[in-house]
Amino acid sequence: MKRTIPAILWSCSLLAGAACAQSREFGLIGGYGYAAPTLTLTGLAGTAQTGFRNGAAFGVYLAENPYKYLGGEIRYLYRMSDMKLSSGGTSTQFGAHSHVVHMDLLAHFQHPDSRVRSFIAFGAGVKVIQGTGAESSFQPLHQFAALTKTMQVLPTGDVGAGVKLSLRPHLRIRFEVRDYISPQPGKVITAAPGVNLAGMLHDILGLAALSYTW
Amino acid sequence: MGRLVGLLCCAVFCHAATFGTVVPVRGTVSDIALDERRGVLYLADFSAGRIQVLRTADLSFANPLPPLAEPASALALSPDGRYLVVGYYQSFPDSPGQPGFTVFDLNNGTQQNVVLPSPVLALAFGGGTQALVVTSGQFLLLDPATARTQALGANLLACRSTPVPLGRFSPSITWASTGVSGDGQTIIVLAKTTTAPPLCTPQTEEPPPTDASSEALIRYHVGTTQVDVLNWIFSPPLGPRAVSVNTDGTAFLAGWALFDSQGYLRSQFPHTLGDLRLGGVAFDSARNLIYADIPAVAKESPVLHVVDTDSLAVRERINLPQAMAGRSLFSSDGQTLYAVSDGGILVLPVGSLAAAPRVLASREDLLFQGGSCSPNSMSQTLDLVDPSGGNLDFTLSLDHPAGIHLSAASGTTPATVQIDVDPAAFHAAGGTTIVNLNIASTRGVNLSPPVRLLINTGQVDQRGRLVQVPGKIVDLLVDGTRNRVYLIRQDKNLVLVYDAASFQLIASLRTGNTPVGMAMTLDQRYLLVGNDNSQFASVFDLETLQPSAPILFPNAYPRTIAAAYGAIWATVRATDPQAQGLYRVDFTHRIASAPASLGVYCNIPTPSYCTSPVPPDAVVAASPYALSLLLAIPDGTVALWDSTVSRWAVARQDFTAFSGAYGTLGENWFVVDQHLLDASLYPALDFQTQTGASSGIAFAGTFGLRTTAASTGAGIVERIDLANFETYHATPTFEAPITAATLSTPSIGQIGQTILPFTRSLALLPDQSSVLILGPSGLTVVPLNFDAAVSIPMIAGVTNAADGGPAAAGGLISISGMNLAPAAAVAGAPPWPFVLGEVCATVNSEPLPLFRVSPTEVGAQLPTTVSGTVPLILQTPGGPSASFLFNVQGTAPAIFHSGASGDQTGLATVVRLMNNDLVTFTNPIHPDEMITIYLTGMGQTAPDVRSGDPAPFDPLALVLTPPAVAIGMTPLVVTYAGLTPGEAGVYQINAYVPHDIADAVQTPLTITQGSASTVALVRVVNP
């Protein structure tokens, strides 16, 4: 991880050339995530839904806008994301959080001098999920899966759109929506023997950011 | 024998340490007063005619106060510490002085002498400024500043009635003693009169003994200066001459009795000599204790009894260096008790009594249960400790040492003594033999109660299982409404409440002193308990198991109680022979009284031709539907209360004496001893007596049951055919039921004992599944079908008790089959019995300790010495099984699959130390942590532990063949492999999980020991 971020920044510099120095942005970002119930466990005992709970997220990002309409950024997000498991009328949850680091390409629809600029974004990175709950010999719905106190690293991709507003020189505000898409976390949510875990993780975050530009 | 007892007594008393310090006084101390401001204790030296001054710091004497002309009889110090009042007794013939008192002004060093016409007997300051002066002719209030007195009244004690108005007083008091409540508002005076005063209203009250002196209890309210006569006591004399009042004046001790604020006798010490000179009492309200030295026998070694403040139940007995002899006073911090003693002053640091060296045993009773299946020796351990943490010497001795071996007959605390019993030595006795293990110490200040060794050598043809209940159990009652069993534990003044299904103790209800008999009210709501050393019957609300208002028996001690429709009757021991009779209880008003007659029959010995009142040893019992009530008197008299006419309808005396069982067989048949009586109480027939004395009778609806006890051996339970009243199917039980003879033991100090000649030892459980028989060890639970034919047991297989695999030496095994036990039973914590639920098992003729039995499965532990193909025989009341051969390996580790969590059962007993929880799919093993695996079948250990016994904590018992543990292909580091301390046949392996353990949803945890191995699947998550 330590090697990845300087490399991206270095790549950005190459891509942007001299123009990189024209518009840089550092921002603080936060919001709330909605974890779509897209993971399904299927076994002899029936079916169950699993995944993560909705929760807040916050982080930082560093952006470069070397071209008139194109830009890039690298971002770190901390997401409070307890795990959950439910079937029928029974549900259980397990403490967890995740760290996401990703790099995105942003395409703007307005001129850089516009006070309001809308954009779309897509990118990729990694998600580190950390189970933090207290393990015990009995978890409800253990016949489907075990929510585990362990760590798992997953690749993640993201797509999104948003709008930037210039509040004053060097100060900008941004609103956006992103969908972080990851494969199933089979280590922190371990399907019981004989149970199939299917689906992809979709974590849709509504975010707001305040940034400084120079 | 007498010599042996003498030696024993000497061992206990001659060299025992004592508690407290004696300060010898050259003279006779009649009273004391504590002056904490000056750090001194004033002593009224009666014979030397002076006031001695004892420094409390170093217990040395300072200069006495100025000499007195007369013997000092009483002392009192004003609450502000300024005035010390000294009272004088009647002058002797050539004495130059006169009776009266002197007021010492301790601040100014002055004194005022006042002459009175009568000797001063007692003095007391309450919370006010005036002192109460009791003379042989007057009660006076003294203002110490002026030395002026004011008469409280005259003729207060002129006649016996309570209360009497002021203005009456009898000049006949010969001595008096006072006690002041902690709040200073109440002064109790115990005054002895030369002769009993006449009755105030002789036409309605019983006459006093013509030649009796008496003691009056008088209460003085400091705030109102009101004086009341609370009670009169005639016999025995209310000694010792000491009064102690609790903090708020709601209870006080006077001599041998504990009274409430109204003067009613709540409890009394049971063995009282009435010695006025020796003994003392002190009410420690702060600790809710009473300290009492009440001699039980003449010239006994002085013993301080530490007792409860309600029932006087004895908690501890402490050796004193000298007998108390009058007043005792606490220091204001409650740490020190100063008491007048036989030869001076006793200084007792009661605040540090808990830190005093004492030897105590960890158990009250030890039950050794053996018989035809018992091993060569039965063993149990007993811990001897000094609760203050000290190292005290102790010596053990046995009443009957034959067949019993102690691992150490003496030693130093803390110590664990192993007691080995050779069953062969007790086989001839049969049933249960009781042997007292006596404990003595030269440095311990307490008198340790003996530990009862209950040695039962029951045979397999004897039915029942024993539920051990410590103590002296004298009565048994079953509560069908709540499925409970009530037992009276007389030595601790308790009703023990057991759940009738599990026989777990639910509650212990505190009764009055020396409970004897009990009954339930007709609505089944209340339990009534008669107490032979309290003038109240205890009442308990059975819904809440809380005490309810007790029933007052004025001048009588209730013993047995029975409730029938329309009446509750009680047998009593009356204080006055003229009031001896049967008492009727007014439950609404919670008071009982003796009617002049029982219908047409005499009750109390009035009129004079009623020479045979209902004596204290009589008993009453109600019929099943409470329509009748049976009264049985040891002289052979019986009487019947008929609820339909609310009268004592029948009374007969067809026998000269009887004892033993009493009860009813339905509404129209009655049983006393071996005699069956019809509805008119006419003797119908006698039951058989070949099997011993009658002990209990019970009615089961369609048949009856009775128990008998021979002088030695097991008990007998048999059925009674209600058509012809023939007894049949007499069946031996493990233990003989109680009889008056087996219950009676020598009295110990002030621990109560009232054993009636009649016994109630038999009851049916509410669901009629079993019969309960009260015996010396507790309860014998016999299935109601005790006489049904029992099939011969058939063994189908033997496996280890962990995972169903092969058995190993020292391991737990499961024997499967049919008819393996008459009923299910489970042993408690080890050591395990060799006979459980009427089942025993042998391998190579060696008995196996059993931990559970049922008709289809028996759990046992193999000895560590067996191996190879061995024969197993199971014995039940149906007889012995055929010999079953099975193979025993040296080691065959097997992980228990007895774990349970939530809805999961059968879990392997592998535990993560991190959270002390079972390893499961949701609680996987992680690297760098410890796990513990519980298993059986790991073979011999060092040191060897006898099968059935708990494994030791120190030293730990390590397996001789070390195991290897691996998860998948990764070996674990084993840090311990041996027996689990405190468990029998259970081994444990502690192992460390390495850092590089691989993730796996299911991977084998393999334990290999020698050529044997076992596997459990576990989940591993890294990290």
For B805-823, write each residue's pLDDT tens digit. 999 999 999 999 999 998 8
Which residue spans within B447-531 are E strands per DSSP?
Answer: 451-456, 465-468, 473-479, 484-489, 494-499, 505-510, 515-520, 526-531
Q: What is the pLDDT of residue B167?
A: 35
Residue found under tokens 């719905």? A141
CA distance B1003 to chain A (A): 12
Q: What percent of chain A has pLDDT over 70?
A: 90
**Is B8 a residue whose pLDDT tops 70?**
no
What 3-state DSSP class applies to A5?
Answer: helix
In the numeric block, which tokens belong to residue B530? 């008669």
Q: What is the pLDDT of residue B375?
A: 65
Asked if A187 reaches chain B (Cβ–Cβ under 8 Å), the answer is yes
Q: In what order do the strands lie in the sheet with B647-653?
A: B619-622, B628-632, B637-642, B647-653
- Smallest Cα–Cα separation from B568: which of B513, B649, B626? B626
The answer to whether the Cβ–Cβ distance between A192 and B921 falls below 8 Å is: yes
Q: What is the pLDDT of residue B236?
A: 80
CA distance A213 to chain B (A): 42
The answer to whether the Cβ–Cβ distance between A138 and B919 falls below 8 Å is: no
Q: What ranges in B663-765 are assigned the alpha helix state H? A: 740-743
Which pLDDT band, with edges at 50, 70 and 90, does B145 fall under? very high
Asked if A17 reaches chain B (Cβ–Cβ under 8 Å), the answer is no
For B232-276, write each residue's pLDDT tens digit. 776 788 888 899 999 999 999 999 999 999 889 999 999 888 788
CA distance A132 to chain B (A): 12
Q: Mean pLDDT for chain B?
A: 89
**Is B205 a residue whose pLDDT tops 70?**
no
Cα B379 to Cα B368: distance, rounded to the nearest angstrom: 8
Which pLDDT band, with edges at 50, 70 and 90, does B6 fall under? very low
- Distance from chain centroid for Cα B1004: 55
Contact residues on chain B for A148, CB-CB shorter than 8 A: 922, 924, 1021
Q: What is the pLDDT of residue B198?
A: 53
Q: Say which residue, B873 or B67, is predicted with more confidence.
A: B873
Task: Break chain A down into helix, strand, coil percent, rounded to 5.
Answer: 10, 65, 30
- Distance from chain centroid for Cα A180: 5
The answer to whether the Cβ–Cβ distance between A138 and B899 falls below 8 Å is: no
The answer to whether the Cβ–Cβ distance between B907 and A137 falls below 8 Å is: yes
**Is B89 a residue whose pLDDT tops 60?**
yes
Q: How many CA within 13 A on the CB side of residue B706?
A: 31
Residue found under tokens 């006698």? B686
Q: What is the pLDDT of residue B910?
A: 96
In a mutagenesis test of the B interface, which of A137, A142, A143, A195 is the best target, namely the one with the most B β-carbons within 10 Å? A137
Residue of A nearest to B917 (CA): A137
The answer to whether the Cβ–Cβ distance between B922 and A134 falls below 8 Å is: no
Q: Mean pLDDT for chain A?
A: 89
Q: What percent of chain B has pLDDT over 70?
A: 93
Q: What is the pLDDT of residue B206?
A: 46
- Distance from chain centroid for Cα B582: 28
Contact residues on chain B for A146, CB-CB shorter than 8 A: 921-922, 924, 1019
For B645-668, write each residue's pLDDT tens digit. 999 999 999 999 999 999 999 999
Which pLDDT band, with edges at 50, 70 and 90, does A45 fall under? confident
CB–CB of B8/B438 below 8 Å?
A: yes
Q: At B304, phi and psi to the nearest 5?
A: -90, 120
Cα B1002 to Cα B1019: distance, rounded to the nearest angstrom: 5
Cα B658 to Cα B695: distance, rounded to the nearest angstrom: 12
What 3-state DSSP class applies to A19?
Answer: helix
For B148-185, write each residue's pLDDT tens digit. 998 886 555 555 443 333 333 343 566 788 999 999 99
Contact residues on chain A for B915, CB-CB shorter than 8 A: 134-136
Average pLDDT over residues B466-491: 95
CA distance A133 to chain B (A): 11
Cα A160 to Cα A162: distance, rounded to the nearest angstrom: 7
Cα B733 to Cα B783: distance, rounded to the nearest angstrom: 11
The answer to whether the Cβ–Cβ distance between B923 and A151 falls below 8 Å is: no
**Is A10 a residue whose pLDDT tops 80?**
no
- Distance from chain centroid for Cα B964: 52
Tell me, letter by letter, the H, E, C secondary structure of B432-465.
Answer: EEEEEEEEECCCCCECCCCEEEEEECCCCCCECE
In the numeric block, which tokens belong to residue B920? 């499961």
The CA–CA distances, whole Å, from B160 to B172, B193, B198, B215 equal: 13, 12, 6, 11
The answer to whether the Cβ–Cβ distance between A140 and B920 falls below 8 Å is: no
For B499-542, write each residue's pLDDT tens digit. 999 899 999 999 999 999 999 999 999 999 999 999 999 999 99
ipTM: 0.86
Average pLDDT over residues B612-626: 92
CA distance A204 to chain B (A): 29
Q: What is the pLDDT of residue A6?
A: 45
What 3-state DSSP class applies to A8?
Answer: helix
Q: What is the pLDDT of residue B164?
A: 37
- Smallest Cα–Cα separation from B482: which of B501, B495, B504? B501
Q: At B857, phi and psi to the nearest 5?
A: -150, 140
